[in-house]
Amino acid sequence: MAILDRLTARIHPALALRRAVQLSGSGKPEEAFVLMAIAARGGIVEAQYQVGRCYLEGIGVPPSHSEGARWLRRAADRGSPDAQTLLAALCVAGLAPQEIEAGSEGLFERNASGEPDFAAALDFARKAAEAGSATGQALLGYILSKGPKAMRDLDAAHGWYEKSAAAGCPEGCLGLALSLTRLRQPEHRTRIATELRRAADAGLPTAIYLLAVLTEHGMGVAVDLDAAQRLYRDAAETGLASAQFRLGLALIEGNLVDMDPVAGEAWMRRAALAGNAEAAYRLGELYASRPQRDFAEAATWYRRAADGGHQPALRALASLYLSGNGVAQDAEEGTRLLRSAAASGDRDSQVDLANLVLEGAGEPDDAVSVAGWFGATASSGDLVAAFNLGLCFLEGVGVGKDQERAARWMGRAAEGVAEAQYMYARMLQEGRGVAADQRQARVWFERAAKAGLVDAQVALAEMLYNGRGGERSVAAAAHLFKQAAAAGHAGAMFAIGALYETGQGLSINPKAAQEWFAAAAERGHGHAQLMLGRYLSRGIAGDHDSAAARIWFERAAAHGVQEASDELAET
């Protein structure tokens, strides 16, 4: 230390502080710290606060959490708003100093749990806020709005944010904007944007990101996609994962200004590596859906997202294990992952697990869980859950088989679920769990058919053809059969062939009949194979091929069609 510095330290602590500030500004942190420590020991509160910061940040002295906390606590106890605010922030971050011995000022240890200490934070922040610290006021607002429920006071939080923002604190401006958003009043939109702009101009990444959202959607500011993209990029470059994700998604989809899938994927990757579970999931989806699918890479990103609690990612990863795509096939692991996602409330996973249980997979407890999940949500009016609960009663999954209760839940679900309309129609048609009613069955088949359910189109066509539940209309039946056939339904293809053969609803056309029989036969329809064999063996449509006919007779016979066996015996 220079002679001037030694003399300064001996004369008065205040002079030591002044010289320490000069040395710090001159880029001499080690020399500055020595004098700052002298001033702190001399009882100067500002010096005590600065010494605490030096220890915490390792400026001019090796870092020491315990020494930093000790000096901050001294300054806070003597009324330093800055020390009180910093201690409150440490408590909120789970880095709070904890006294080893009650009443001891000098002994501290690092909070090993890493859990926020909101009670201590509230005490420190309130003192700082009441002393006029704008940063302390913003922090107090945060604690009162985001702390434990018992501690929350949103109105008081709003008031502290107002004071902090009025003093020009960027964190206060951000907090006030979020508090105004909570009020959901359209007249606040302009002010929300203004406060976010103030916080964004001060460089707060979250404010920059939120201002980008407002600018993209025109909330409180004019829509400006170019400006929104720049703001997203500014926030992303600070390392904010949510901004990196949004920018990446925009570049991949091209829904802002530029479209650059390569750069978008790079930003998405950065967001995922920074802990954004949605970004990791989207990357998994990207690799799983490309023309050149890379399920192994998809599994890596799904797993990262799943580790972050992303339920759809758990379901997607489970699907890979169940199918053996990208990972070694492991039905047990796939079911475990699916069970975890389902237990977390993911509806699609619950349905998938229910399907596994219906196929005989899973564990006994899974069936009980499935029925329980669907029962709880179905009772609250969820129609999809009502349909699944109906299936549970129909198949005895987790509950005893009960046709009447199955019909009751199917009937409720039929108000909005096409699959339920079809199942309920079948139950009405067959009199299972409910009195048989062909007319009502036809009504529900029609609703499901209009929703595009192929099996319902075929069932309704059969009722129209036979005149069950209402007037007979072969022409309408033919139209429905063609709709279902276009969707690949083999039974509908066979029916069209039969209509062309008999001239019912369609003009007699042996060649068209043979073509439809062939289409159904190739899809494994036994009776279509029989008819195709007959057409080829007899040359009905002009094509005579005994060898091919025999092959089709053999395939039909293998399906148990007795007439095909008879045809083979005659050849």
Angle at 334 (CA atoms; ends 332, 338), nearest 5 degrees: 115
Tens digit of each residue's pLDDT (9 = 90 or more) over 292-302: 899 999 999 99
| pLDDT band with cut points at 50, 70 and 90 for residue 379 | confident
- Smallest Cα–Cα separation from 301: which of 165, 293, 314? 314
**Residue 99 DSSP SS3:** strand
Check: pTM over 0.85? Answer yes or no: no
pLDDT at 6: 52
Beta strands, E only, 25-168: 97-99, 108-110
110: β partners: 97
Q: Are 356 and 341 in contact (CB under 8 A)?
A: no
Residue 457 vs residues 72, 427, 515: alpha-carbon distances, Å = 76, 16, 21
Structural domain spans, the chain: 363-471
- Smallest Cα–Cα separation from 247: which of 204, 202, 297, 213? 213
Tens digit of each residue's pLDDT (9 = 90 or more) over 422-473: 999 999 999 999 999 999 999 999 999 999 999 999 999 999 999 999 999 9
Distance CA 312, CA 346 (A): 7
| The two structure tokens encoding residue 294 | 């890379």
What DSSP character marks residue 523? T
Tens digit of each residue's pLDDT (9 = 90 or more) over 341-361: 888 888 788 778 777 777 767
pLDDT at 532 > cutoff 70: yes
Quickly count: other Cβ atoms within 10 Å of residue 67's Cβ.
18
pLDDT at 519 > cutoff 90: yes
- Which one of 1.25.40.10, 1.10.10.10, 3.40.50.10800, 1.10.3720.10 gives the CATH number of domain 363-471? 1.25.40.10
Give 405 or 112, the one with higher predicted confidence. Answer: 405
